[in-house]
Chain A
Amino acid sequence: MNARSQVFDLTMEGRQVDEAVATIFHTVLFHRCLGKYMYTGDAQYSIGTVGYTDVDCNFIDFTYVCCTSDSLTHKVKRAINSFSEKLRSNESCGSGQISLEFFQKKKTRWPFAQESIPWEVWTVHLDLIKHENEDERQLCRENVSDLLSEKVIYITELMNRHDYVPKTPSQSELDLIFDTSFPDVQPYLFKFDYSTSGSAAPSMGNAMKKMIKETLAM
């Protein structure tokens, strides 16, 4: 099964990375979060309400919206932080990518692990630049803000297409589609993946590991 894939290419300063990636991923996740399912019977359930929060960026002239969920925000932040630290580290040559992957699980027989089938991947590819002076930095701050506006518009456009999203399953199989670990929201199952060009060897290792895993899973 082919997953939909979107790639955003962004160029910015190192300190803007966290907020730019958070803007894109939170906008996506906001659309991909449902209210908590509360089952009253086997087939009956009620859906909770999703709250939203405005987040002002510090290094970009921008405000984005995310779900009002501390645990979700924390999870996203942790993933983006470790990516951006690696991207901005000395070994890095200033480019890398991070992806948000939505997947659904498929039950398999005992000796093999559960299969994860991605159905939507959002990738942000980043190139870091350094500015010579404050004017340039200010200009770039505005440029990045315009760029993010554009991306958010693009995301909403995609979200309102009638594309595939997994169907809501019965209560017993809810975990195969949704991440039910959050107390306040219920996003589709998602994970983060990142690589930076400076750390080619470990990412290669990851790829090999993934290949072996996938072969075994089959």
Chain B
Amino acid sequence: MSAQRLNAAERDLEKFIKYLVLKSTQVVVQSRLGEKMQTQCNPLAGSDWFNLAVQDHPEVLEETKRALFLKNGESILQRLPLCVEISLKTTEGDQMVLEVWSLDLLQPSNGATPAANDAKGETNGLNGEGQTLKAAHAIYNRMGIMLKSLISLTRTTPAYKLSRRQCPDSYGIFYRIYVDRPQVHTLGEGHKHVKIGQLNTIVGSLVMSVAYRTKLTISPTTAQAESNTIMLKSDHFRPATDITAPNTQQQQQNGTGLAKKLGMGAFNPALGSGDRRCIDIEKPLRPGAFADMGKLKQYTEDDFVLPETPPFEWLLKGRGSVESLNRLDNNVTASALSLNNNNNNNHHANNFNHSSGQSSNLNNNSNGFKSFEKNSGSSISPIKSLLIPATVTAAYRHHSEPTLQPPPDDDNLLKELHFPFASPTSHVNDLAKFYRECYHAPPLRGLNELQAEISTITSVSSATNGSGAACGAMAAAAAVATSAADASAMDDLSRQLEQFETSLEDYDKLVSQFGLTGSSSTGSRSSGGLQMSN
């Protein structure tokens, strides 16, 4: 009779364990579906196992039953441990086992132990870690708590977060139910093991546990081990198999499966040289993603042909055209002809001088200046130009004939006056104008007085009389037309220097005065220079 009762209890227990297994797999798999779960309380109906509302997913139930493979009347105790393996699979085919949930039944080591535990449990009362439960309701409640723990714990492992973030574009979460020892070696190194609960019963200790991966990076070794498609998978370089029909190729790549696409690339003989992406100018350019198709300009073959006239031709407006410029340059080899040209240029230059403040002529400033410098040889040299010691004709400078007098250093100065992209209306032009005005600022009155003093001492050449004497350092610049004038200018300068040196004491006094008052930075600067030369 006692044996019968024991059998009845065992049968109950088997039933409990079976349902615990079925509910556990449901809980684990449902927690990995990637959605938030909610089951409703039902205070009236007590039909749910373990008083917990765990829905049964028919597919999971089927899978669990298939794994258990229970024949009629066969005990579930022989079919444990049962494992639920959760794995991740990327769209590229990489796979990684994330965790293994297992329910195991540890058989008592020998026949005497359960009996001893039994006796102990009865004498010691309810407290005690190794207590064996006999009462059906106690086991049932304990299983309920174990299942609740399982529900709570399934939300804490890293795989839960991954499963919530899964999407068909990147990766999916898969499960596998099997009856075997948990295969923890697939979890990589450093995996963690958590025991959810242990329940000592008369048939053995029921242990629920989970082992989960902590390193959540797909290692290259696993990817290679799976297959050697990693080489083929690289689509950084599109195989240029069909240059003449790039659009159709594009469609094929997007539409067909990976393997097929890769196969096409791998077996194409043209691939060897085709790894580089060719830019085919004949291929119609495709518009950007959000480009308005109506506003796009259709390029025709005409657009690729360079025009006869070079770009930025307007820069040469002073000359009219490139042809005229070339003609000019060819002509100047003969000095006589160049004189003629110079006369022409003088005309231009004079025009420019008079209208230098007007914006209409400013864009050809370089030409204007160059032609203007040569103009300084004539008697009408305005004050503005005096800082530029132009000595040769502009026409020569255009091609720097070595046989002729070498161009002066003022090319550097002129370069600063080039405003290549300036148009009559642009702001750059204003800048150019401003620069030019500053550059040719009228000399200081004080400087004029000084110059007047100097002019009384120095003998000024005929070429630099009048306006040339009006300006300070400009004696040199004004003496431009002939080499004789140059020489006199040099004399002039040396005399000037002498003059400065003789009046050095006066300057020193002046500076010391400035120093006492502690002002006038310009004064101190000029004196500094003089002292250094001293």
Q: Which A residues have a C-beta under 8 Å from some C-beta of B?
A: 27, 30-31, 34-36, 38, 46-54, 56, 61-65, 67-69, 148-149, 152-153, 155-157, 159-164, 183-185
For A48, list chain B residues within 8 Å (CB).
Answer: 41-46, 51
For A54, list chain B residues within 8 Å (CB).
Answer: 36-38, 155
Assembly CA distance A61 to B52 (angstroms): 27
A38-B43 CB under 8 A given contacts A50-B53, A54-B155, A159-B145: yes
Q: Is the CB of B126 within 8 A of A53?
A: no
Q: Is the CB of A36 within 8 A of B39?
A: no
B233 at interface (Cβ–Cβ under 8 A)? no
6 pairs of A and B residues whose beta carbons are closest in the complex: A160-B197, A36-B43, A48-B43, A156-B149, A184-B41, A46-B46
Assembly CA distance A39 to B145 (angstroms): 22
Taking the closest CB of chain B, its distance from the CB of A138, in whole angstroms, is: 15
Taking the closest CB of chain B, its distance from the CB of A152, in whole angstroms, is: 5
Contact of A51 among B42, B46, B145, B164 (CB under 8 A): B42
Assembly CA distance A185 to B142 (angstroms): 18
Contact of A64 among B52, B142, B152 (CB under 8 A): B152
Q: Is the CB of B46 within 8 A of A38?
A: yes
Contact of B126 among A69, A164, A183 (CB under 8 A): A164
Assembly CA distance A155 to B153 (angstroms): 10
Q: Is the CB of A65 within 8 A of B151?
A: yes
For A152, list chain B residues within 8 Å (CB).
Answer: 152-153, 155-156
Q: Which of B127-135, B412-420, B428-436, B526-534 contacts A (4 or more CB under 8 A)?
A: B127-135
Q: Is the CB of A49 within 8 A of B160?
A: no
Q: Is the CB of B53 within 8 A of A51?
A: yes
Q: Is the CB of B155 within 8 A of A63?
A: yes
Contact of A38 among B44, B153, B164, B199 (CB under 8 A): B44
For B164, list chain A residues within 8 Å (CB).
Answer: 63
Assembly CA distance A53 to B146 (angstroms): 17
For B157, list chain A residues within 8 Å (CB).
Answer: 149
Taking the closest CB of chain A, its distance from the CB of B141, in whole angstroms, is: 8
A49-B152 CB under 8 A given contacts A54-B36, A156-B196, A164-B126: no
**Subset of 19 A-B contacts with CB under 8 Å:** A30-B151, A35-B46, A38-B44, A46-B46, A48-B41, A48-B43, A50-B51, A51-B42, A52-B151, A53-B39, A149-B157, A152-B153, A152-B156, A160-B142, A160-B145, A160-B199, A162-B129, A184-B41, A185-B43
Assembly CA distance A163 to B131 (angstroms): 11
Assembly CA distance A47 to B144 (angstroms): 12
User: Which residue of the partner chain A has the closest CB to B158?
Assistant: A149
For A53, list chain B residues within 8 Å (CB).
Answer: 36-39
A50-B52 CB under 8 A given contacts A63-B160, A63-B164: yes
In the complex, besides A50-B52, A51-B38, A68-B41, 4 extra interface pairs with C-beta distance below 8 angstroms are A48-B45, A51-B42, A152-B152, A159-B145
For B128, list chain A residues within 8 Å (CB).
Answer: 162
Secondary structure of the A side of the interface? mixed
Q: Is the CB of B153 within 8 A of A153?
A: yes
Q: Is the CB of B51 within 8 A of A156?
A: no
For B131, list chain A residues within 8 Å (CB).
Answer: 162
User: Which residue of the partner chain A has the closest CB to B155?
Assistant: A63
Q: Is the CB of A56 within 8 A of B36?
A: yes
Q: Is the CB of B52 within 8 A of A52?
A: yes
Q: Which B residues have a C-beta under 8 Å from some C-beta of A?
A: 36-48, 51-53, 126-129, 131, 142, 145-146, 148-149, 151-153, 155-157, 160-161, 164, 194-199
Taking the closest CB of chain B, its distance from the CB of A65, in whole angstroms, is: 5
User: Which residue of the partner chain B has the closest CB to A157?
Assistant: B195
Taking the closest CB of chain B, its distance from the CB of A141, in whole angstroms, is: 12
For B44, list chain A residues within 8 Å (CB).
Answer: 38, 48
A159-B48 CB under 8 A given contacts A68-B41, A185-B41: no
Assembly CA distance A184 to B53 (angstroms): 12
Q: Is the CB of B41 within 8 A of A49?
A: yes
Q: Is the CB of B43 within 8 A of A27?
A: no
For B196, list chain A residues within 8 Å (CB).
Answer: 156, 160
For B155, list chain A residues within 8 Å (CB).
Answer: 54, 62-65, 152
Q: Is the CB of A50 within 8 A of B145?
A: no
Q: Is the CB of B39 within 8 A of A68?
A: yes
Best-buried of B156, B160, B161 by chain A (most CB within 10 Å): B156
For B47, list chain A residues within 8 Å (CB).
Answer: 49
For B148, list chain A residues within 8 Å (CB).
Answer: 30-31, 52, 159
Assembly CA distance A162 to B36 (angstroms): 31
Q: Is the CB of A51 within 8 A of B149?
A: no
Best-buried of B41, B44, B51, B151 by chain A (most CB within 10 Å): B41
For B38, list chain A residues within 8 Å (CB).
Answer: 51-54, 68
Q: Is the CB of A51 within 8 A of B41?
A: yes
Assembly CA distance A149 to B192 (angstroms): 13
For B53, list chain A residues within 8 Å (CB).
Answer: 49-52, 68
Assembly CA distance A119 to B211 (angstroms): 33
Assembly CA distance A137 to B142 (angstroms): 40
User: Which residue of the partner chain A has the closest CB to B160?
Assistant: A63
Best-buried of A67, A149, A163 by chain B (most CB within 10 Å): A149
Taking the closest CB of chain B, its distance from the CB of A99, in whole angstroms, is: 20
Q: Is the CB of B41 within 8 A of A155?
A: no
A69-B129 CB under 8 A given contacts A149-B156, A160-B146, A160-B197: no
Assembly CA distance A183 to B44 (angstroms): 10
For A30, list chain B residues within 8 Å (CB).
Answer: 148, 151-152
Taking the closest CB of chain B, its distance from the CB of A155, in whole angstroms, is: 7
Assembly CA distance A114 to B196 (angstroms): 37
Q: Is the CB of A49 within 8 A of B37?
A: no
Best-buried of B43, B131, B161, B195 by chain A (most CB within 10 Å): B43
A49-B127 CB under 8 A given contacts A63-B160, A152-B152: no
Assembly CA distance A65 to B196 (angstroms): 16
Assembly CA distance A42 to B67 (angstroms): 44
Taking the closest CB of chain B, its distance from the CB of A46, in whole angstroms, is: 4
Taking the closest CB of chain B, its distance from the CB of A202, in whole angstroms, is: 34
Assembly CA distance A152 to B161 (angstroms): 15
Assembly CA distance A70 to B155 (angstroms): 21
Best-buried of A52, A63, A183, A185 by chain B (most CB within 10 Å): A52
For A67, list chain B residues within 8 Å (CB).
Answer: 41
Q: Is the CB of A164 within 8 A of B52?
A: no
Taking the closest CB of chain A, its distance from the CB of B428, in whole angstroms, is: 44
Q: Is the CB of B52 within 8 A of A49?
A: yes
A52-B43 CB under 8 A given contacts A30-B152, A153-B194, A156-B197: no
